[in-house]
Amino acid sequence: MRKQTGFTLIELLVVIAIMATLMGLLLPAIQKVREAASKTRCANNLKQLGLAFHNFEQTYGQFPPGLGATGDRMKPGMKDWHKKTDPANLRFCSWQTHLLPFLEQQALYDAIHPRKVPEVFDTLSSPVLQFGCPSDPLGGKHVYGWPTTTYFGVRGIDSPQGNVMLGDPQADGMLYWRSNTKTVHATAGEKGSG
């Protein structure tokens, strides 16, 4: 009489239960490691953005405007100041666009620079990793065709010009339309001014 070797149903179920228990213990540990890596990458993104801001200020003598041209010479009260920028064609250039050369994205900056006819839709598929936190489900993804960002600039409160709000020529934040904020404006616990 030959004895058959193999697994019984009970032995198979015990092995499956042991494997399921081990997987249940291992998956949370893997998730914690993954989240720690995302947190480190997010902190690195913020550091890169901070360095880019300060390098921009060293180059241009001011932080990038929240929106508009660096060194815009159009001032409130000038004719069409709320429609034009001087230099021209930089009205809708955001602080993120201005920082691209300082984030090793010179080619992307050159492709979308408003002094040329921009091929905006060709550049939308070029995500800038420093603008998205890995833990943010939308970080770097496209919404309605436009790339998203996790990090936002502080514009502050709009200051009305007469009866109308015409962009924030005297806002109290750091990155508002046509701002020219410098490091000396950013003192601890106080609002910036431009």
Instruction: Write the pLDDT tens digit of every residue in 151-166.
Output: 888 777 765 555 554 5
Asked, for residue 59, whether it belongs to a domain, the answer is: yes
Per the model's pLDDT, the better-predicted residue between 52 and 127 turns out to be 52
Asked, for residue 23, whether it belongs to a domain, the answer is: no
Asked, for residue 72, whether it belongs to a domain, the answer is: yes
135 CB burial (10 A radius; 0-12, 13-18, 19+): middle
Residue type at position 70: T
Asked, for residue 114, whether it belongs to a domain, the answer is: yes
Asked, for residue 92, whether it belongs to a domain, the answer is: yes
Say how far apart CA 179 and CA 114 lie, in whole Å. Answer: 18
Asked, for residue 151, whether it belongs to a domain, the answer is: yes
3-state class of 124 per DSSP? coil
Among residues 89, 100, 53, 66, which one has the least CA distance to residue 194? 66
Instruction: Write the pLDDT tens digit of every residue in 15-32.
Output: 999 999 888 888 888 888
**CB-side exposure of 34: number of CA atoms within 13 Å?**
8
Percent residues over pLDDT 90 in the chain: 10
| pLDDT surpassing 60 at residue 142 | yes
pTM for this one? 0.70
Pairing between strand 142-143 and 146-147?
antiparallel
Which residues neighbour 71 within 8 Å (Cβ) at sequence distance 6 or greater?
A: 60, 62, 87, 180
Per the model's pLDDT, the better-predicted residue between 180 and 64 turns out to be 64
Say how far apart CA 140 and CA 137 lie, in whole Å. Answer: 9
Please state, in angstroms and as integers, the Cα–Cα distance from residue 85 to each residue in 67, 82, 114, following that order.
Answer: 11, 8, 12
Contact between 81 and 128 under an 8 Å Cβ cutoff? The reply is no
pLDDT of amino acid 58: 93
Asked, for residue 33, whether it belongs to a domain, the answer is: no
Say how far apart CA 98 and CA 102 lie, in whole Å. Answer: 8
Say how far apart CA 74 and CA 65 lie, in whole Å. Answer: 13
Asked, for residue 180, whether it belongs to a domain, the answer is: yes
- Count: domains in the chain: 1
Contact between 153 and 174 under an 8 Å Cβ cutoff? The reply is yes
pLDDT of amino acid 56: 93
| pLDDT surpassing 60 at residue 167 | no
Domain that holds residue 150: 46-185
User: Which two tokens mark 47?
Assistant: 């550091």
Mean pLDDT calculated for residue range 77-98: 75
